[in-house]
Amino acid sequence: MDLDKAASLIESEYQFLGSVRDRWSLTKGPQDMELAAHALRVILHMGKAGESLPEVQALIKNQHADGGWGRESQETESAAWVSAFCALMLIRGSAVLQHPEIEKSVFKCINYFLQGQKSDGRWVDSEWGDLDTTSHPVSFFNVVLAIGTQKMKEAVRSAWRKGLRFILEGQSEDGGWYDLKFHPSGVETTAHLGQDAVVASLALPEGLPVRPSAEKALNWILKHQDSDGSWDGKNVDHTMDCTRSALLISRMIRAEQRCRPALEKAMEWIMANKTHPNGWPDFPGEELNLERTCDGLDVLLKYQAWRQADPLEVVRRWGYVPGEPVRPEPAVLLRLGRSS
């Protein structure tokens, strides 16, 4: 895919997302938390610290006393899956904005997940399979271990190991993760676990030996790609999941050249199946879905990073760069100071 075309699409899709802020921004009223977190991920990837500030503040405002979030912002009961997604955005926002209020909120998230972990290392959420649910707190802990404070790292280390071990033990011999209750085909689960939990651990100095697991997952994903470049019967969501996962894993295990034809084909399919003039649907020909639109932007941003010469660009865009200092813009810090 042409990088100029990717940059132009990122710009126009990001403008579109901004034009429908009322539909996803917590600053505009009650929202679906999963959608709000998807949108915040895009803002963070775009490097828009100033725009992320009010969203991060609103995220903190909607956090429950137990440290989690509900599926809808007005729900009072916390749910593991969406809480992990919000926690990931919060710690990444914290790395950019560096403020005690955000750090305090990250600690509340950490405690929420430490309290909720089962003895075998898993986390549960009735809306999702256990493997998928577990991958998200593990992913949050990956980022904590990569960019959190020393105190944060000490708090999560043991739980992270148990969670990661649960995931590694759940991988099948063929490289896929199969969830018989929710995802017997394994496509989405393998994509999520490959990118969210397993391969990120490669970036951590104290990681378990996960490279063979990551390689097997990548091979599984490539083997299950359809001839048109999509995955799972032209499923836009799962095609984006598999593409992102393969981008990250291939970069981290230095298999970019081998994977490039498959990934270029996937990107072509994703671009050919947009809704017009903006956004992406769940399936080709269907109406625009905002969550999928955020995913589409996320894929483009990650593809852009994948094409950079510096291999660390990819891990940076996923938020996993151990010890990487992030310098906030002075104007942003000033605004945060005034608001707290």
Partner 1 sequence: MNQQGRSVAKLEEIPPGESRVVTLEGQEVAVFNVEGRLYAVGNRCPHRGGPLSRGHLEGTAIRCPIHGWLFDLESGQCINRPQSSVPAYSVSRENGNLCVKP
The tokens describing 258, both together, are 């081998």
By beta-carbon proximity to partner 1, the closer residue of 196 and 237 is 237
Q: How far is the CB of 179 from partner 1 (least distance, A)?
A: 7
CA distance 143 to 125: 21
Q: Give the residue with the Cβ less far from partner 1, 111 or 185.
A: 185
User: In terms of DSSP bridges, do strands 288-289 and 280-281 run parallel, antiparallel, or are they unpaired?
Assistant: antiparallel
Min CB(91)–partner 1 separation in Å? 24
User: Least distance to partner 1 from the beta carbon of 127, Å?
Assistant: 6
- The binding site for partner 1 (CB under 8 A) comprises 34, 126-129, 179, 181-185, 188, 232-233, 235, 237-238, 282-283, 286, 289, 291
CB of 233 or CB of 322, closer to partner 1: 233
Nearest-approach distance from CB 267 to partner 1, in angstroms:
21
How many residues are recorded in the chain? 340
Two tokens, residue 293? 């639109």
Q: Which is nearer to partner 1, 122 or 238 (CB)?
A: 238
**Least distance to partner 1, CB of residue 283, Å:** 5
Between 107 and 182, name the residue whose CB sits nearer to partner 1. Answer: 182
Nearest alpha-carbon partner for 125 in 84, 176, 167: 84
Nearer residue to partner 1 within complex by CB, 99 or 183: 183
The CA distances from residue 261 to 187, 228, 247, 266, in Å, are 20, 12, 12, 9
Smallest distance, Å, CB 184 to partner 1? 8
